[in-house]
Amino acid sequence: MTDAIHGPIPILFEDGEALVIDKPGGLPLDTPRAGGPSLEVRLPELCLGFQRVPFPVHRLDRDTSGCLLLARNPKALKRFAAAFEARLVAKTYLGVVAGDVEGDSGTIDLALSKISSEAEGWRMIPAKKGKPSVTHWRVLDRRDGLTLVEFKPETGRTHQIRIHALAGLGHGLLGDAVYGEGKVGGRGAWRTLLHASKLVVQRDGKPPVEAEAPLPPDIASLGFVW
């Protein structure tokens, strides 16, 4: 974990207006109140010859690894943000579900809402009056009580895949102590095992931004084959 957070950040795609990085799991985008490593602090490393510091177009949770799009100038940021808003972005995630998922594929259509309490903080829950949230999924492999699942979200709600895994598939992601027990058969993980594996962003008059992040070692070490 420490080596990945402090080591070089891999570049998956680069041109004059965009970077896609392979964000390490455990690296938050914003600097924690108590200080410590963050992508915000490390953005100057990603100028790569440009004067402007690139800026994240979307968000990934601290634990989530993989494809993160950065805009290299304000105009690009505005265009990419509009593409996300118009759903001109295809995102693919791989997640290790802490249980044996029934079925091989399907669609989870569960509206989500945010709740909070002083004792437990905030979390997302399924709610009829919540924001529409849709995730397509398919099983890639099953091994030792764990299931490797490909998730393709249509919407981009906070914690969408994490809560959809629990509420839609019956099990949380391995390592996720908020939406599930975080472990199976006594086995856990130091982070929620969710990986943004592919990203495709459409652009007017230009080829799309396309990137694919290799499977991180902590997921690869579980021995999944597909």
Q: Is 186 helix (H, G, I), strand (E, B) or coil?
A: coil
Q: Is 28 helix (H, G, I), strand (E, B) or coil?
A: coil
Enter the tokens of residue 209. 């931004």
For the question of residue 63 being annotated catalytic, the response is no
User: Given 3-state DSSP classes, what are the helix, strand and coil percentages for the chain, each rounded to the nearest 5?
Assistant: 15, 35, 45
What is the rounded distance in angstroms from the CA atom of residue 138 to the CA atom of residue 152? 9
Contacts of 197 (CB under 8 A, 6+ apart): 66, 67, 92, 93, 94, 150, 212, 213, 215
From 3, 15, 61, 218, the catalytic residue = 61
Contacts of 194 (CB under 8 A, 6+ apart): 61, 63, 64, 65, 93, 94, 95, 96, 161, 162, 173
Q: Which residues are catalytic?
A: 61
